Structure 1
Amino acid sequence: MLLQLHQVSVQQGQRVLFENLDFTWNEGEHWAIIGEEGQQLTDFLQLLLGNRSVVSGKVTRPFAQAYIDEKSRLGVVNSFRDLIAYVGQDYPFRNKSNLQNFYYQQRFNSMDAEDTVSVEVYLKNSPKRTGVWTLPAVIQLLHLEHLQQESLIKLSNGESRRLAIAAALMQQPKLLLMDHPMTGLDVQTRASFDQILKNIQAVGVHILISTIPAEIPKSLTHIAVLQNKRLEVVERESILQISSPREDSHPSVDKEKLRNLLASTVSTKVHSLVRLEKVSVRYGEKWILKELSWEVKPGERWLLKGPNGAGKSTLISLLIGEHPQAYANDIVLFDRKRGTGESIWDVKKPTGFVAPELSRFFPRNQTVWKVLLSGFFDTMGLFKKPTPEQESKAIQWLELLQLPTKAQLLFHQLPLAEQRMLLLARALIKSPQLLIIDEGAQGLDTGQRLRFKLFSEAILEIASIGLIYVSHYEEDIPNGVSKTLELHPV
């Protein structure tokens, strides 16, 4: 036996997380934990890490006993945590000053990139012990060869996730815990992920991941469903019954309210929302985009796809005014050529933008109310006094999302799914002509992803807004998206 929870109850503040929870993890077992509540899955992994307060019951960890006995005999400070590695959903990287103070557009600024170490240096400096997982071994396993000299802030979401797994392995863990590890991975990496897990298992590492039913790797031997604060072990064959939530199992969108909120969308007539002519972006000798031409006309709905590192994020940064190389290219946004005297706010105003990583760039003191209102000003937080009309519209959006009682809650305290819906409302509150959603459902559980999709479909049905939708998951793409631009690494 590696680890056991017996009748464990866990509380955080006044909230009960688990009641009389039983779980036994034996040698040779590799687990997938699924459930409808993403936060509860995260709490379970944190419990295994020893980061949640156990108020009753017993937790035993035989996997670490020999290690603890040996280190104690030698007089070395030790913990069972030394043998556990964890890959979470938070952004784990910091700059050379050991501050996690990146701003969104920093990844596209070559001067700021100099303040952040490369992939190779990050792995060399990561906490590690001597063992089978050396730098060359993790580089090869996670396919990071071409990224070794790349600055951390220039990595895509999927590349960052692979790097986090590599760093975790260099700790030489006996137990590897991963919270939705396939989030942000492209189709190719997801297809090879099962083999990656098999290679990790082959050297004696035991794996437990939280995931969604549709993404349970075949190499995992056991599956459990976390619901009602308890775990239930299930057979793989039964997963199909819970992997496809019905559309009628979620609250329907109040389309009349949504129609009123979107009534002023697309107030200015333009010929093109986006027009690119042979646009190229490169850093030194490395091309990110090369002679890309593309046009998005009003009301068109596009899927933007491609593997990690193909340039999707760079392209989006050009469209939302964040990339300094925009001025060196032939880019026309809303019939106005970049570099003809427009301000950054002129560029941003007609475009609503949603991306999961935006959440981490709001100041920690920003409330739900302030984050929503900041959409009027395209700022990462509210720093201007809104008008009564703007406040009235914000109240209506909160009512539509069923969040009026949480208006004064700090944004980072909001559950992940509600954060994402709020970011969508923030993007729409100014009635943009173009909406860009970059992996909007990333990190959400199955039911939450469906709700996000249904809400997006309602927007497309009601408004004549243009859309650029980025996703690695076909099932997340809203109905109504009819055109595709696929990028490939240069």
Structure 2
Amino acid sequence: MTPFFMSEQPSLLSVAKLTIRRGGRIILHDLNFDLKPGEYWTITGPMGSGKSTFLQTLAGQFHAPTGSLERRVPVEFVSFKEESSRFSYSSYFYQQRYQATMSDRVDDGYTAIPSLRDFLQTTDSPEDSALLDRLGLSPLLDRSFIKLSNGQTRKARIGKALLKHPAVLLLDNPFVGLDATFRNDLTNWLGDLTKHGLTLVLVNDASDIPAFSTHVAVMENGTLNWAGPKERYTPELYVKSTAAAPPVLQTPPQHIDFLEAFRLQDVSVRYGDTVILDGLDWVVKAGERWALFGPNGAGKSVLLSLLYGDHPQAYSNYVSVFGHRRGKSGESIWDVKRRIGFVSPELHLYFPPHLTVRQVALSGLTDTLTPPNRVMPETELDLTNLLAYFGLTGVDNRTFGTLSAGEQRVILLIRAFLKNPAVLLLDEPFQAIDSHHVDLARQLIDRFSDKTILFVTHNRNELPESINRLYTLDIDKARSEK
């Protein structure tokens, strides 16, 4: 293990022989770390290595043994998945975010959904207003927090932390879910903030260490394998995985009896005076494999919700699924869902952390958050083989909440694959997943040669090789191309 780079300045944070256990397992083991003024750290390492737990411990979210952690300045933490007393997704049902006409209250009639303004608890001071303008959040302040897009939610979490004026800001995958323009802008902005006294520690991929970072730490199996100045850091060269061929699903594939998976004609979606989609036309034929691009707030997730049956405005538009127009053919939402494998950042937020990995994976068979009572032996075998393929053998009975964000996303991918559906709707499926597991997932998706696929991403390098069509959803217009 390479010795830490140490300076003589007093530490803002000190960690000494830190060990953290979760769910009876050791997640962090015997860590030592000092954060000095003027240091800006990027923490990297493979999926499940303990990076997020490390930041959460620094922020005080996990109890550290006496004497193993000392914080001398105010610290704020922005997580990949936020659950708090101020807002918890578990208080709401998934489709509620698309209900434009219903009251923003849960069924008991007492708990109101906060607006973005409520969530941020912002003042009207010039300083707060300038911050929200810079994040592009000012026009959204009166929108229900639950109805924000994934990228808008990420910006809101970062803004909420900065409004508290911390001395140290801990960011867990801060660029996840952000389009390229805002990603670059945020990188430059965070760099500017470091020049004004903000100390940053962030978790990010080794291939994308921000220019403002001065130091790098590499985690693996709950330990720090290397830590030091960025100029001394040499990332390990990633080699495409060839260790195991993707498994062939034993669950029988669903019958393909349609010529068009989806057809949208002059589709518009609005919430009050806010137009999300305006006059959109798109046809996806059976077997086609599309990439869907667009900036944050362009309506990509809303578009998928129309196709997947979650959005009520599908019935007031011309939306045809599997050759049947929604609301005219007598098909129910469950008739649509049973033929589609689906994953999205928003869906991820609603899974109860107490469910086991097996329960979460098998819930895809019911298209709900609960597993079926009976499972075919072929599907049980597929689950075992898919977990093994992704290097997750033995996690079946662990609770979902004890997995890292990247591991959770892999489980949700497995959930989408298990019923061997005719169509896959994959909304930013690789968020928080490391390069090795992304490569495994891409190879598996390419093996599904008979499926119709819609793949949403901000990063073209993530696309499986078999994706050969592109639909771009801009704020003002949409276009398609091969």
Normalising by structure 2, we get a TM-score of: 0.86
What is the alpha-carbon distance in structure 2 between the residues aligned to residue 333 and residue 380 of structure 1?
23
Show structure 2 runs of 5+ residues with no match. Answer: 1-9, 106-111, 477-482
Q: How does 1:219-230 map to 2 (within 5 A)?
A: 219-227=212-220, 229-230=223-224
Of Structure 1 and Structure 2, the greater helix share is in: 1
Q: Partner of 1:333 in structure 2?
A: 321
Shift of 1:56: 8.1
After superposition, the CA RMSD in angstroms is: 2.7
Q: Partner of 2:97 in structure 1?
A: 107
Shift of 1:413: 3.1
Amino acid at match of 1:484: L
Amino acid at match of 1:119: L
Q: Partner of 1:368 in structure 2?
A: 357
Equivalent of 2:442 in 453, 458, 461: 453
Q: Is the 8 A contact 2:406 2:431 kept in 1?
A: no
- Report the number of matched residues: 454
Write the deviation string for residues 170-229 of structure 1: whole angstroms up to 9, x where unpaired.
111111111111111111111111222033224321111111122222122222222351
Q: Partner of 1:192 in structure 2?
A: 185
Deviating more after overlay: 264-273 vs 287-296: 264-273
What is the alpha-carbon distance in structure 1 between the residues aligned to residue 32 and residue 403 of structure 2?
28
Describe the shift of the 1:2–1:108 C-alpha distance in structure 2 as closer, same or farther (beyond 3 A). Answer: same
Shift of 1:470: 0.5
Deviating more after overlay: 308-317 vs 399-408: 399-408
- 2:355 is paired with a residue whose SS is coil
What is the alpha-carbon distance in structure 2 between the residues aligned to residue 133 and residue 102 of structure 1?
34
2:432 matches 1:423: no
- 2:53 is paired with a residue whose SS is helix
2:76 matches 1:85: yes
Amino acid at match of 1:12: R
Q: Partner of 1:71 in structure 2?
A: none
Deviating more after overlay: 476-485 vs 392-401: 392-401
Q: Partner of 1:73 in structure 2?
A: none
Describe the shift of the 1:310–1:254 C-alpha distance in structure 2 as closer, same or farther (beyond 3 A). Answer: closer
Q: Partner of 1:399 in structure 2?
A: 385
Describe the shift of the 1:158–1:238 C-alpha distance in structure 2 as closer, same or farther (beyond 3 A). Answer: farther
Q: Is the 8 A contact 2:250 2:381 kept in 1?
A: no
- 2:190 is paired with a residue whose SS is helix
Shift of 1:55: 4.9
Q: Partner of 1:305 in structure 2?
A: 293
Shift of 1:372: 2.8
2:255 matches 1:267: yes
2:161 matches 1:173: no
2:226 matches 1:232: yes
Normalising by structure 1, we get a TM-score of: 0.85
Amino acid at match of 1:141: R
Shift of 1:445: 2.7
Equivalent of 2:398 in 401, 409, 419: 409
Amino acid at match of 1:90: K
Sequence identity percentage: 32
2:104 matches 1:121: no
Amino acid at match of 1:24: D
Q: Partner of 1:41 in structure 2?
A: 51
What is the alpha-carbon distance in structure 2 between the residues aligned to residue 232 and residue 124 of structure 1?
39
- 1:299 is paired with a residue whose SS is coil
Q: How does 1:129-168 map to 2 (within 5 A)?
A: 134-168=127-161
2:57 matches 1:12: no
Describe the shift of the 1:171–1:106 C-alpha distance in structure 2 as closer, same or farther (beyond 3 A). Answer: same
Write the deviation string for residues 2-23 of structure 1: whole angstroms up to 9, x where unpaired.
3354642313155334444332
Write the deviation string for residues 78-105 of structure 1: whole angstroms up to 9, x where unpaired.
xxxxx11110111346778x77412221
Show structure 1 runs of 5+ residues with no match. Answer: 65-82
Describe the shift of the 1:39–1:404 C-alpha distance in structure 2 as closer, same or farther (beyond 3 A). Answer: closer
- 2:433 is paired with a residue whose SS is coil
Write the deviation string for residues 426-482 of structure 1: whole angstroms up to 9, x where unpaired.
2233232110111111122333333332332333xxx31010001111221111100
Deviating more after overlay: 25-34 vs 110-119: 110-119
- 1:247 is paired with a residue whose SS is coil
What is the alpha-carbon distance in structure 2 between the residues aligned to residue 369 and residue 44 of structure 1?
26
- 2:263 is paired with a residue whose SS is strand
Q: Is the 8 A contact 1:304 1:312 kept in 2?
A: yes
